[in-house]
Structure 1
């Protein structure tokens, strides 16, 4: 049974908001706008005391009250907002009540361009400010351009941080372990590589790499069994949902489902020994962003299902089954460029509509 105060928070969140109806396989659900007025919102992070955080790609972080009032947070690191880069994901870790620390991923200026970085900071909720801001990790220098930063961050069951890095538009680098490009990383909360990572044996490989051969993963989450799921953009076709495992090679750009934007063939085909197959792929591409594994009894029928936002076709994809399949598209006038999807503490489903500049809640 849920804690009453959590329930009261999300009841309060709907005060003054207009509820709409969202059609689904469970019947008509309630769709409520929680907060609005954002520009290029990218991620949501839930806080104690009935509040939450929202990032904007242009380099702003907001604290939002249950009534939808938002307050800009000061003290952010220097963010390089160019192309697809900027202030991206935010993580409120499980020990926030003790440490007051949050983690953010962002594009950081580097000598040859910019690269994905991770910052840790203490959040003073009362002063609406970050203090003790430190960049604890940034990818190896050498990337340029404004594409494929990846940049989702998730906390593992052991408390370590997992961070997605795109190939930065440099396709072959996703197969080069000497760079961080095209990988999922595993780092400590201090930024160092974690013992047990697969490439820490003194080779030229980057010790933070957990898996590689990814194109541009923009959604990632753990399920209740501790398995790590990620979704990444393909080119023209070939968006993939992958079950991310230690040391595995996910094939980009050697194998892929889809073709280059020019229509040309990608790599060697769709399969190769030593390279992993996706659990699911889309062709044509849906441009996925944000991934959530549902684990609550509010929507008991959806326990264990994966929810992924579509930037291209404006819906939330629900995937289910041992052979992972898209079984439902949750779509309304408000699911415009769904950038993030999250399960709230009370079991409701929240998402960011980038085009609407708003946060919405799905409830029964």
Structure 2
């Protein structure tokens, strides 16, 4: 696990790492920090022609449909770093007519997994280490200049990083909408992400089905009141509703921007300013419709000894995620923010393209952020 964490640290600094796989060693350079000098250095060090590794989501935006999760696109000697970056993340990019892509191998897919884990753009410049350069590369690995790790380590890390949560600390923090509230902090095993359970009221007084909200962090909406989303209003409405219903739990999950991270979320906002909706903007950057997972939420509820819940959500994916664990969802309640000129397109895309239950707010301009009555009880 430590090797993967160190690799993520290097990649976020714009440095390459070496991924070892059965088919051979692969140098992986992040898109961030890639310039003409870095591109030339990678070509020289590897002794082979670099390629651009892209997810199937980004390739689809380029008009290339593949069945695999990722593919490699050769980089010509005349290509500049700006050309490469544009192919990986620009809204409009015309590929050379001779461009061909090949299904990514294990090492390449693992390299892109590292980018996702590190909340970087899920694209990378990669180069196979030629036989003539192996000794040179191994020397750099031995002296610590380049970090090497196995593809299997990355796969295991991606599978387990959200498990083995450790309960770190807690404190009573009265809130404006819930005076009896306790914050319980959980840290993931790798130490990179922390999540908060806001425990409202006394567990001994809770209803049999505990009101629970899974709330993904949104710095712009929750803290600064951004009008581009309804997250801040949903957060406060959820706390208020949980308190009014006798108490329960709000899980504040470190999954900014539907799991793509704050930097990529801001990039997506810029693309949205050009006319894209929220899902298309994420796809331009190489992400799927929703990169979040909820294994962490399941483990937090288990540690809090909660097994039967009333889920406050508009998102069918959250219902499905809870059913994958030992949590019994007795019912669902919608939770809404205010519809504004700035967030209408965002909410409309979530409803029409991601299946979120938002009819109540989209069908009424005057809905002022209320909590909807019980709807769509789950068939057990």
The normalised TM-score by structure 1 is 0.24
Structure possessing the higher radius of gyration over alpha carbons: 2
More strand by share: 1
